[in-house]
Structures are given as structure tokens and as C-alpha cells.
Amino acid sequence: MALTQYAEDSPAGRILSHLRRSGEATIKELEELLGISTTAVREHLAHLEARGLLMTRQARGGPGRPRLVYSLTARAEDLFPKEYDTLVTLLLREIASREGADRLDALLDAVGRRLAEEYRGQVTGEDLEERLIHLRAMLEARGIPVEVQPGGSLEVFSCPYHDVAQEHAGVCSMERRMLEQVLGERVQIEGTIREGRRSCHFHVARPSGSEV
């Protein structure tokens, strides 16, 4: 299974993959696995430990000093690929098949409301521009690059639900309705990554004469 941050055939990648399979290993075992010196193994282990990816325990295996045994931390699991998008796509497909498209849309609406509840308390401001800036900061904290455009538009350069949205356009509508609830304004979609554009463009449709 390929790692998402370290090359699978690199020393660090091989250490992580080996520990994922075996559970734990000593420095001696990793020397034999990698075919490198004790010093080199220790350097790679120190790097991974500093990143919070490894933990150690002392183990006795006979006479002499206890040996250090290395294993993965819970944080290291984030380095291995996940199939969340596949699972969500299959779940939505199954809901649509069993309950119908209307039921699926209703469930997506409910999910959008839950997301809005998480954001709403942190997206504050008397005017729309201020609220858009707060929303941008929140989305970027999730790793989603966003720009606020003049006139009350939000340009999102990465779809957090990209693979799911390819099959279920309702996900885009869910995001639009979530933004409406967070911003307290009507929002229109003027283009999406799903349609082949480089960004998803959301525009706040304010009544004529309103100021941003």
C-alpha cells in the first residue's frame, strides 16, 4: 500500500510499511530489512519520531540491557491512503437506489445543515465582506485554497468532495446551501470543478441596491 507522504521504496517509507505490517520492530531488525548501518537506521527513526509518527517501548529478550522496540503512533495512520470517497460514493448510490433521489437530496440537505452549524459560530461580522473573510480562513484551515472576489464571490480551488461529486451533483448543491446558511445570504453557483473549471465559483446574490 503506497504512502501519501513518503516514497514507498525510501528508507522511511519502508520502515513505516514494515511497522504497519509487523506491529513493531527493533533497530537490529530494521538494519536487516534496509541493509544499512545502525547509525543510518537511527537517523531515519529519529526523523520519524520527531514527526510524531513513532513511539518506543523497552523490551527484555534475555540478558543485557533492554532493547528499544519501535511501533507506529495513531498519527502515522494518516500517511496511509484511505478509501473514504469510495465508501461515501457507494453509500450515496445505495441510498438513491433504495430510497430515491428525493430522499438522497433530503439527507444531503441535513448534512449541509450540520456543516453550517459547525461554521456559523465562527463566521461573524456585520457586513458580508467580513463574513466571507472569516469563512475563507476556516476553509483554508481545512486545507482548501479559497479567494474572496470583489462583489461578494467566493472562489474555491479544491473540491473536498471531488470524487463523490463526480457521480452525485447534489453534493455541489449541498455546499451551496451550507454557504447560504453560514453567510445568511442567497448564494448561486456560477461554475464548478465538477464541470471542468479550475475552481468552484459561488456568488452571493444580493438584492439590487444592497452593499457588500
Kindly report, residue by residue over 95-117, the tens digit of the pLDDT. 999 999 899 999 999 999 998 99
- pLDDT confidence band for 61 (50 / 70 / 90): low
Nearest Cα to Cα of residue 172 among 91, 121, 109, 93: 109
Please state, in angstroms and rounded to a whole number, the distance separating the CA atoms of residues 66 and 81: 34
Query: What is the residue extent of each domain of the chain?
Result: 11-79, 84-204
In CATH, the architecture of 84-204 is Alpha-Beta Complex (3.90)
Please state, in angstroms and rounded to a whole number, the distance separating the CA atoms of residues 162 and 179: 17
More confident residue, 142 or 200: 200
Nearest Cα to Cα of residue 129 among 199, 204, 190, 186: 204
> CB-side exposure of 136: number of CA atoms within 13 Å?
18
Specify the DSSP class assigned to residue 74: G
Q: Is the pLDDT score of 154 beyond 60?
A: yes
Beta bridge partners of 68: 58
Do 47 and 12 contact (CB within 8 A), yes or no? yes
**CATH class of domain segment(s) 11-79:** mainly alpha
Q: How many CB atoms within 10 Å of residue 96?
A: 18
Q: All 3 cell numbers of residue 169?
A: 451533483
- Local structure of 77: helix, strand or coil: helix
Q: Where are the alpha helices (DSSP H) in the chain?
A: 11-22, 27-34, 38-50, 84-99, 101-120, 128-141, 162-167, 170-183
Q: Is the pLDDT score of 212 beyond 50?
A: no
Work out the angle at residue 92's Cα, subtended by the Cα atoms of residues 158 and 195, and round it to the nearest 5 degrees.
35
- Average pLDDT, rounded, for the chain: 87
Q: Is the pLDDT score of 155 beyond 80?
A: yes
The model's pTM is 0.63
Please state, in angstroms and rounded to a whole number, the distance separating the CA atoms of residues 7 and 73: 19
pLDDT at 4: 58
Average pLDDT over residues 46-64: 85
Q: All 3 cell numbers of residue 146?
A: 479559497
